[in-house]
């Protein structure tokens, strides 16, 4: 391909789109056709290099693209029609924005001359998606189409990744225009406005390392930014943690960047994080935040958040710095570059620095660990949800396994009990908390990793939000496994009603649930059900042996709550463990107004 950026023969806008996607290395597009995108679908029909995955709802298309993106590190691509196609995609786009997932979403639009006339299936897509995308475009000139697509991929990937929408009026895609290749080599210029900083300031690294070397109670607090910075960042994180000997915790989004088997690993931090992690956050004297954003699920009450620590914050997005928590040493840059620099400077400075004794700190951590905050008792005839997930972990850990989740109690139990050793294996909706995320995300991940085991750990309520995507899984022979932790309640809602609203379970019980085994069969999948703890292992093994989509309906103890928990409005050192009496857990006062 010429790298001169010189225009080629004119071709239809729709053909330009396909060519630009091919040039960007796109292999898969998740989409759903409709009137405004028919010319694009016609071009799709004429070629073989890009595979189209027909979803059953546009929200599913975006989540599937997210699952694909998160499990591969590539940009996920979505193609939907105008109006309802675009509005249905909005939840997925918002999800991708909150979790910093690179997505390019092509939306059809009514022809240019009809825009603003309330035409059939018209929606102000760029207006609607402006706050839920990193950037969006309305293409009015077919000759700019190719470069806009190239730029969209750059914007989706560069800096803090995110979703980008390209709105395509039907007349533009039906008009011939010039194709332009993405500028390469010497023709590659800096983007005229968007050039996020990737290499941190030297002084920032120096000051960070100085704090680390003097720390008596250090703690790494890492997040999804490490995953987004690529496998190299995870490898460098392991190196730095090893080099320093410091303990490490992670947000929900960052699980897998550091191996759960590592002796310095404390487990997840935050509202349903581990006791030792939260206590370490509260008591540390130097906090090294890498690629996390001090989200309210992590910090608890900001007034009492880690009151005695100096804070280092590595983030590629300057707006994440000092947003919720004021930090002492901001390090703006790519996590991998920052880690590499920190390792280098740490090694150099360590020789001259006085040795700091952290043994008292490790002793405290050992005491917190000894509380065994995740303890539960599997006894009697009811399956404990924790037990089901723990067995799933034990039986699948030796395979290449990708775990997706829906949102709620099962998600938190999955984060607590499934132990991740590698990045990009854990796909969950963290920021937006989107029920219905897990199944389409599993489809996206399975598509990228045909031989891997992909399991959606689900709740019986969440799974119904995008259950139609089972049909997609079957059509494309994607043997995803749906492991439903079925307690017949919207479990997390029920738990909060117990803690906040006197046990008045308003609308959180689902009557008339479908028979999930028959549902699976109706979709040409396999359905399994287990209600006896003694049969959990066999059921999981059976599930794993079936080379088709499987729903496993795990009937669990309906009353089980997800602990430990930082009640809303409380600090890290006010965690409640599962053992306290219910009366002590009641949340009152200002905390009750928080979500």
Report in angstroms how near the CB of residue 184 gets to another protein at its nearest.
Answer: 6
326 binds another protein (CB under 8 A): yes
Nearer to another protein, 294 or 420 (CB): 294
Chain-centroid distance of CA 285 in Å reads: 29
The yes or no reply on residue 322 touching another protein (CB under 8 A) is: yes
Contacts of 426 (CB under 8 A, 6+ apart): 255, 256, 402, 403, 415, 418, 420
The number of residues that bind another protein (CB under 8 A) is 64
Catalytic residue among 120, 216, 400, 580: 120
Q: Which is nearer to another protein, 64 or 182 (CB)?
A: 182
Q: From the CB of 564, what's the least distance to another protein, in Å?
A: 31
The least distance separating another protein from the CB of residue 414, rounded to whole angstroms, comes to 32
CA distance 100 to 161: 5
- Contact flag: residue 158 with another protein (CB under 8 A): yes
Q: Is 559 in the site for another protein (CB under 8 A)?
A: no
515 dihedral zone (left: phi>0; alpha: psi -120 to 50; beta): beta
Quick one: which of 9, 46, 49, 189 contacts another protein (CB under 8 A)? 189
551-568 burial code (b ≥16 CB/10 A, e <16): bbbbbbbeebbbbbbbbb
Query: Six-digit token pair at 280?
Result: 């370490």
In the complex, what is the shortest distance from the CB of residue 594 to another protein, in angstroms, rounded to a whole number? 17
Residues 98-157 that bind another protein (CB under 8 A): 126-127, 130-131, 134-136, 138, 150-151, 153-155, 157
Q: Does 355 bind another protein (CB under 8 A)?
A: no
| 287, 265 Cβ separation under 8 angstroms | no
4, 7, 116, 188: which one contacts another protein (CB under 8 A)?
Answer: 188
Closest Cα partner for 34 from 105, 116, 129, 107? 107
Whole-number Å distance between alpha carbons of 226 and 256: 10
Q: Which is nearer to another protein, 121 or 126 (CB)?
A: 126
CA–CA gap between residue 9 and residue 106 (Å, rounded): 23
- The active-site residue out of 58, 276, 460, 469 is 58
To another protein, the closest distance from the beta carbon of 180 in angstroms equals 11
Q: Enumerate helices (H) and strands (E) in the chain, giving the number of each.
A: 22, 20
Min dist. Cβ of residue 144 to another protein (A) = 11
Which of 15, 182 has the CB closer to another protein? Answer: 182
Does residue 341 belong to the site contacting another protein (CB under 8 A)? yes
482 in Cβ contact with 551 (< 8 Å):
yes
65 binds another protein (CB under 8 A): no
Tell me: does residue 332 bind another protein (CB under 8 A). Answer: yes
Q: How does 246-257 read in b/e, with b if 16+ C-beta sit within 10 Å?
A: bbbbbbbbbbbb
Q: Which is nearer to another protein, 141 or 421 (CB)?
A: 141
**Phi, psi dihedral angles at 495 (to 5 degrees):** -60, -45
Residue 117 CB, nearest distance to another protein (Å)?
17
Lay out the site mask for another protein across 15-54 (x = CB under 8 A, - = otherwise).
--------xxx-----------------------------
Nearer to another protein, 154 or 362 (CB): 154
Contact flag: residue 329 with another protein (CB under 8 A): yes
Q: Residues 170, 310, 311, 481: which is the catalytic one?
A: 170
* 3-class DSSP state of 527: strand
Interface mask (CB under 8 A) for another protein, residues 206-245, using x and -? Answer: xx--x-----------------------------------
Kind and range of the H or E run holding 206: helix 202-214
Residue from 344, 399, 477, 559 in contact with another protein (CB under 8 A)? 344
Q: Does 192 bind another protein (CB under 8 A)?
A: yes
- The string of DSSP letters for 101-158 reads --EEEEEEE--GGGTTS--TT---HHHHHGGGSSEEEE---GGGHHHHHHHHHHHHHS
Concerning whether 121 is annotated as a catalytic residue, the answer is: yes
Q: Does 537 bind another protein (CB under 8 A)?
A: no
Tokens matching residue 536 = 């959990």
Residue 317 touching another protein (CB under 8 A):
yes
Question: Which among 46-54, 318-326, 379-387, 487-495 is the span making contact with another protein, rule CB under 8 A?
Answer: 318-326
Residue 78: phi, psi to the nearest 5?
-130, 145
Cα–Cα distance, 326 to 141 (Å, whole number) = 45
Question: CB–CB of 186/56 below 8 Å?
Answer: no
Q: Select 347 or 524, whichever has its Cβ closest to another protein.
A: 347
Which range of residues in 227-235, 296-304, 325-333, 462-470 is near another protein by CB under 8 A? 325-333
Q: Measured between alpha carbons, how far is residue 279 from residues 361, 368, 566, 575 in Å?
A: 11, 7, 11, 9
What letter would DSSP give residue 354?
A: P
Please tell me whether residue 204 binds another protein under the rule CB under 8 A.
Answer: yes
For the CB of residue 542, give the shortest distance to another protein in the complex, in Å: 41
By CB under 8 A, is residue 201 in contact with another protein?
Answer: yes
Shortest distance, CB of residue 137 to another protein, whole angstroms?
Answer: 9
The CA distance from 484 to 529, in Å, is 9
Helix %, strand %, coil % of the chain (to 5)? 45, 15, 40
Q: How far is CA 563 from CA 155, 372, 499, in A?
A: 40, 11, 12
Binding of another protein at residue 345 (CB under 8 A)? Answer: yes
- Residue of the chain from 328, 394, 537, 574 that contacts another protein (CB under 8 A): 328
Please answer whether residues 411 and 456 qualify as being in contact, where contact means their C-beta atoms are separated by less than 8 angstroms. no
Applying CB under 8 A, the span of 205-213, 278-286, 291-299, 406-414 interacting with another protein comes to 205-213
120 carries an active-site annotation: yes
Q: Quick one: which of 557, 560, 554 has its CA closest to 531?
A: 554
Residue among 20 and 556 whose Cβ is closer to another protein: 20
Catalytic residues: 58, 120-121, 170, 492
Residues engaged in binding another protein (CB under 8 A): 23-25, 126-127, 130-131, 134-136, 138, 150-151, 153-155, 157-160, 182-184, 188-199, 201-204, 206-207, 210, 317-319, 321-323, 326-330, 332, 334, 337, 341, 344-345, 347-349, 352-353
């Amino acid at each position: 391909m010429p790298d001169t950026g010189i225009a080629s023969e004119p071709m239809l806008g729709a053909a330009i789109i396909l060519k630009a996607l091919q040039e960007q290395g796109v292999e898969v597009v998740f989409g759903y056709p409709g009137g405004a995108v028919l010319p694009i679908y016609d071009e799709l029909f004429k070629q073989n290099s890009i595979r189209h995955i027909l979803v059953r709802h546009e929200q599913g298309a975006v989540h599937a693209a997210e699952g694909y993106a998160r499990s591969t590190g590539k940009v996920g691509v979505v193609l939907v029609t105008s109006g309802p196609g675009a509005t249905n995609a909005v939840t997925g786009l918002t999800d991708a924005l909150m979790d910093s997932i690179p997505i390019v979403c092509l939306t059809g639009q009514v022809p240019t001359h009809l825009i603003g006339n309330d035409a059939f299936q018209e929606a102000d897509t760029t207006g609607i998606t402006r706050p839920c995308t990193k950037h969006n475009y309305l293409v009015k000139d077919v000759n700019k189409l190719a470069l806009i697509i190239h730029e969209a991929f750059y914007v989706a990937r560069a800096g803090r990744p995110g979703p980008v929408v390209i709105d395509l009026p039907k007349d533009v895609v039906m008009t011939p225009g010039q194709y332009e290749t993405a500028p390469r080599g010497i023709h590659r210029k800096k983007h005229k406005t968007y050039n996020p900083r990737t290499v941190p300031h030297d002084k920032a690294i120096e000051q960070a390392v100085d704090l680390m070397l003097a720390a008596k109670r250090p703690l790494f607090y890492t997040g999804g930014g490490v995953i987004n910075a690529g496998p190299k960042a995870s490898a460098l994180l392991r190196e730095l943690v090893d080099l320093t000997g410091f303990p490490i915790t992670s947000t929900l989004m960052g699980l897998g960047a550091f191996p759960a088997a590592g002796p310095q690993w404390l487990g997840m931090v935050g509202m349903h994080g581990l006791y030792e992690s939260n206590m370490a956050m509260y008591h540390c004297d130097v906090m090294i935040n890498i690629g996390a954003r001090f989200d309210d699920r992590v910090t608890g009450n900001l007034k009492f958040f880690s009151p005695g620590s100096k804070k280092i914050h590595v983030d590629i997005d300057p707006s994440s710095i000092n947003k919720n928590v004021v930090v002492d040493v901001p390090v703006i840059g790519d996590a991998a570059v920052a880690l590499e620099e920190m390792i280098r400077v740490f090694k150099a400075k360590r020789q001259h620095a006085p040795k700091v004794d952290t043994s008292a700190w490790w002793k405290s951590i050992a005491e917190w660990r000894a509380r065994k905050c995740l303890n539960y008792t599997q006894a009697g005839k009811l399956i404990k949800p924790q037990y089901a997930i723990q067995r799933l972990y034990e039986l699948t850990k030796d395979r290449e396994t990708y775990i997706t989740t829906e949102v709620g109690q099962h998600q938190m139990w999955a984060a607590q009990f499934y132990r991740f050793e590698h990045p990009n294996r854990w796909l969950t909706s963290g920021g937006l908390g989107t029920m219905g995320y897990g199944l389409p995300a599993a489809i996206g991940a399975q598509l990228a990793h045909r031989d891997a085991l992909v399991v959606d750990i689900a709740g019986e309520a969440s799974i119904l939000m995008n259950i139609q995507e089972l049909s997609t899984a079957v059509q494309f022979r994607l043997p995803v496994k749906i492991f439903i932790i079925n307690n017949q309640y919207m479990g997390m809602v029920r738990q909060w009603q117990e803690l906040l609203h006197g046990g008045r379970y308003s609308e959180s019980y689902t009557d008339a649930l479908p028979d999930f085994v028959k549902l699976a069969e109706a979709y040409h999948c396999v359905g399994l059900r287990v209600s006896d703890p003694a049969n959990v292992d066999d059921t999981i093994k059976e599930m794993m042996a079936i080379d088709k989509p499987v729903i496993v309906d795990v009937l669990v103890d309906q009353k089980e709550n997800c602990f430990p928990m930082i009640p809303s409005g409380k600090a890290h050192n006010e965690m409640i463990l599962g053992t306290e009496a219910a009366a002590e857990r009641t949340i009152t006062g200002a905390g009750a107004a928080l979500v």
